[in-house]
Amino acid sequence: MRNPPPQAVRLADYRPPAFLIDAVDLDISLDRSKTRVAARLAIRRNPAGQAGAPLALDGDGLVLRRVALDGAPLAPEAYEATPDSFLLRAPPEGPFTLEIETDVDPSANTQLSGLYRSGSAYCTQCEAEGFRRITYFLDRPDVLSVYTTRIEADKSEAPVLLGNGNPVGAGDLDGGRHFAIWRDPFPKPCYLFALVGGDLGHISESYRTSSGRDVELAIYVERGKEPFASYAMDSLVRSMRWDEQAFGREYDLDVFNIVAVSDFNMGAMENKGLNIFNDKYVLASPETATDSDYAGIESVIAHEYFHNWTGNRITCRDWFQLCLKEGLTVYRDQEFSADQRSRAVKRISDVRGLRAQQFPEDAGPLAHPVRPSLYHEINNFYTATVYEKGAEIVRMLKTLIGEADFRRGMDLYFARFDGTAATVEDFLACFAEASGRDLAQFSLWYEQAGTPQISVQSDYDAAAKTFTLALEQSTPPTPGQSDKKPFVIPLALGLIGENGDELTLSAAPGETGASGEECARGVVELSTPKRKIVFENVPSRPVASLLRGFSAPVRLAPPQSAEDLERLLAHDSDSFNRWQAAQSLALRSVFARIEAARGGEGADDKAFFDALKRLVEAGEGDPSLVAQALSLPSEIDIAREMGKDVDPDVIYSARSGLRRDLGRFLAPALAEAHARFAPQEGFSPDAASAGRRAMRNVALDLLAAGDPASGGPLAERQFAEATNMTDRICALATLSHLPGAAREDAFAAFYERYRKDHLVVDKWFALQSTIPEVETTARVARLMAHEDFSLANPNRVRAVVGSFANGNPTRFHALDGSGYALLERVVLELDPKNPQLAARLLSALRSWRSLEERRRKIAETTLRRILATPDLSADVSDIATRALG
Ligand code: 0A1
Ligand code: ZN
């Protein structure tokens, strides 16, 4: 384990490496507790690096066995080695070869970083700084080397041996051992290194690239699980084709391997030619996977595959540039999924995710720019801000410069930076060049944290037939950034006339008009603190449909009137904004209910409910969009809108009241929809079928909220008769909110049916952890003692504890402090074993300052106690320190 205190790393301190490592030859002899790693490094001084510097390699918990320079053993005074570092005091001026042999213990590796065991297999995870746990190295992304890896193992234990690149040799050895040699011709940073050894099954397929090269694709899984990998394979093939068509990017090796493992800290990893996946994002069958699991697999498979160009062929100069590969690759996988499915539904779900994860991050003490300028622990920067807001920046760039220039910029980026480690500046320069536009102000999106707030005042002048929008932007202060400069914000908009028709935008001449181009594209740019825009020839008072398609990651305020929102919900040509109108109306209702509980005026939902009823009854169009409109803002959405003095109990009762009333009002229409969207013959995971299931299940859930006496039995029936996991788990979710024997029986039956499948058992864990009842905290403690639970497995921990802390606001924030105490216990127990996971769990407390005072105090005490614990990891102490900061 690395020793505290963690050092601050600053972007401003970046210096090119003093040495380069052109070639790495590894010979790795796998053994459960004593794996021998022999590395031969071809090193030379970097002409751009600091002259005369000693060679300082990174290590982390290594045991050095042997070291030689140009073939001769090194004298002890020539170097200094600790478990965490290796220093060669006076390296030769010319190129030299350093041979280093280390021992590592994969069985003792509970951090799941470096070389570790998952089940009976050996696997690796090197991003961000795991390679130094395998051998001493310049563990930084701007050192690119060509790797040859020889892997040796017991043939019976690990008949499958996989590495990066192409297979170039294999053979049997004495004593039941065997070896395989892999060579990766593409220079790469060490964080993309990987190997796998184990007794695994696989499925394979041949793929012909657009230029006619054949690639062998294979997905390796636990033996017996092979049939569950077919959707992942299908997604891979579609991703490869799509990247050729959408970005002109072809795959470059002879093989592409994916391995699914059960113990993994994140979703998956893009190691060159050898992607390693959390099995949650590979394995699926109609009986075990929900529609959202299928969508998750499709997008993660695509994401990792797309990294081959955005991340691997072009990598990052330093970890501050993480968004260069992550934001861009998320943008690419989002576009891919949008093309495979309903674009509008995909956008809605991405924006829901952004608001649920990134907005709170940006509004709290952990806020950081998409490209941070300082970190203590890089593992804590794999955040929604870097990933999801990073993707929004790329999307805005495309909106601003247009599709053609965007594609030209991407082509230029690929051509210019292939084989290098690049920066955000390099990336933006390509688009500036391709579009002829100065992107200096745009680059503030990478530098300034915080979510901009846009306020809008509108005014209709009936006599002059003009409509004026007064826009104003401001961005709240965030840690270390008190004053914000104005952003360039692309605001997609339209005007909806009295009859619901889309008005043609026509700008008034002069300074206050929008440009002709802005009107034609329906996108205005807000790049100053304020901008007033006058539209002319507006026959009657219109309603502005603003931020169409969520064209920028901002908040709009103040909320529109109910009448305006109802017009948008009924008529907006932009599907996203129709959904947004429903969400805004629901939020209005919740806030009115909260006011009513405090003695204020109650909610008048009649028009809103009527509008939803028309949507449900219309029966035409996309049922998945109707389902989205009926999916009310979550408790967490509501808390975020509230912003301060959040009381989760108050939110829960107001939201439950709305669900109950809506369920009652819509009951006949919902019952009809539930029947109309009953499962058809055969199962397909495609978007259309998933949309039908979404509609059916949202109907079931609202029906039960309106009338548990009839909705409960309906859910029981659906649970028993379900022919796919989506219908079964949704029925169980509905039942989970209805206390009683039927619910407990259903949970027991579910477990009996799926106890052998750990991914399904995770759903069972997660649902129970999110039951909004006082008893749940004790239930969670019981689940942690369940024979299927293990602190060593990140998926189990996330299913039980993560779901509780992030998905059960009333219990997690219980006034008696029991929820925080549970989190504290788990974080502290987990920290010495898996600090990355412990730190992630702890970030559930990131919004503690927005809570009402009593909870805020308990949360603060909890954080302080955690921070005062001796021997805390750098990961957890970084989160606790910043959260309190
Ligand atoms: N680069 C991967 C995510 C990833 C990051 C860190 C990991 O270990 C600390 C593992 C995976 C991706 O974006 O998919
Ligand atoms: Zn990624």
C-alpha closest to that of 152 among 179, 129, 174: 179
Residue 272 pLDDT grade (very low, low, confident, very high; cuts 50, 70, 90): very high
Residue 81 pLDDT grade (very low, low, confident, very high; cuts 50, 70, 90): very high
Residues 6+ apart with CB under 8 A from 404: none
Average pLDDT of 605-619?
94
Which pLDDT score, from 0 to 100, does residue 1 have? 37
Residue 576 pLDDT grade (very low, low, confident, very high; cuts 50, 70, 90): very high
**pLDDT higher than 90, residue 640:** yes
Q: Does domain 10-198 have CATH number 2.60.40.1730?
A: yes
Helix (H, G, I), strand (E, B) or coil at 133: helix
Domain limits, CATH 1.10.390.10, in the chain: 315-447
> Two tokens at 264?
């993994």
Side-chain-side CA neighbours of 782 within 13 Å: the count stands at 7
Count the neighbouring beta carbons within 10 Å of the beta carbon of residue 544. Answer: 19
Residue 304 falls in the annotated catalytic set: yes
**pLDDT higher than 90, residue 621:** no
pLDDT digits (tens, 9 = 90+) for 728-763: 999 999 999 999 999 999 999 999 999 999 999 999
Q: How distant is the alpha carbon of residue 449 from its chain centre? A: 18
Q: 96-104 and 72-73: which strand pairing?
A: unpaired
Q: 85-88 and 55-58: which strand pairing?
A: antiparallel
Residue 794, preceding bond cis, omega within 30 degrees?
Answer: no
Q: Which amino acid is at 501?
A: D
Question: 315-447: which CATH number, 1.10.390.10, 3.30.70.1450, 3.10.450.50, 3.60.40.10?
Answer: 1.10.390.10
Domain limits, CATH 1.25.50.10, in the chain: 559-744, 755-885
24 vs 134: CA distance, rounded Å:
13
64 vs 71: CA distance, rounded Å:
17
Identify the architecture of domain 559-744 in CATH.
Answer: Alpha Horseshoe (1.25)
Top mutation candidate among 258, 269, 275 for ligand 1, by most atoms within 8 Å of CB? 269
Which pLDDT score, from 0 to 100, does residue 460 have? 97
Residue-by-residue DSSP string for 758-777: HHHHHHHHHHHHT--STTHH
pLDDT digits (tens, 9 = 90+) for 349-401: 999 999 999 999 999 999 999 999 999 999 999 999 999 999 999 999 999 99
Which CATH superfamily includes the segment(s) 453-552? Aminopeptidase N, middle-beta domain (2.60.40.1840)
Q: Which burial class, exposed, middle or buried, applies to 509 when counting CB atoms under 10 A from its CB (0-12, 13-18, 19+)? A: exposed
Output the residue whose Cα is nearest ligand 1's atom 7.
127
Radius of gyration of the chain, Cα coordinates, nearest whole angstrom: 28
For residue 127, report the distance from its CA to the centre of ligand 1, in Å: 6
Q: How distant is the alpha carbon of residue 515 from its chain centre? A: 37
277 vs 264: CA distance, rounded Å:
7
Top mutation candidate among 123, 263, 266, 276 for ligand 1, by most atoms within 8 Å of CB? 266
Which pLDDT score, from 0 to 100, does residue 4 have? 52
Residue 678 pLDDT grade (very low, low, confident, very high; cuts 50, 70, 90): very high
Q: Evaluate whether ipTM surpasses 0.90.
A: yes
Output the residue whose Cα is nearest ligand 1's atom 3.
269
Which residue is catalytic, options 99, 152, 304, 335?
Answer: 304
CATH number for region 755-885: 1.25.50.10
Output the residue whose Cα is nearest ligand 1's atom 1.
269
721 vs 714: CA distance, rounded Å:
11
Is residue 125 lining ligand 1, measured as CB closer than 6 Å? Answer: yes
Higher pLDDT, 411 or 619: 411
For residue 266, report the distance from its CA to the centre of ligand 2, in Å: 10
Residues above pLDDT 70, as percent of the chain: 99
Q: List the single range of 80-89, 500-509, 866-875 with lowest mean pLDDT.
A: 500-509
32 vs 864: CA distance, rounded Å:
39
427 vs 371: CA distance, rounded Å:
13
**pLDDT higher than 90, residue 602:** no
For residue 326, report the distance from its CA to the centre of ligand 1, in Å: 9
Contact 164/182 with Cβ under 8 angstroms?
Answer: yes
Is residue 839 lining ligand 1, measured as CB closer than 6 Å? Answer: no
Is residue 267 lining ligand 1, measured as CB closer than 6 Å? Answer: yes
Residues recorded for the chain: 885
| pTM listed for this prediction | 0.98
pLDDT digits (tens, 9 = 90+) for 433-443: 999 999 999 99
Task: Give the E-state strand segments of 497-548 in sequence order.
Answer: 502-503, 523-526, 530-535, 543-546
Is residue 382 lining ligand 1, measured as CB closer than 6 Å? Answer: yes
Higher pLDDT, 1 or 34: 34
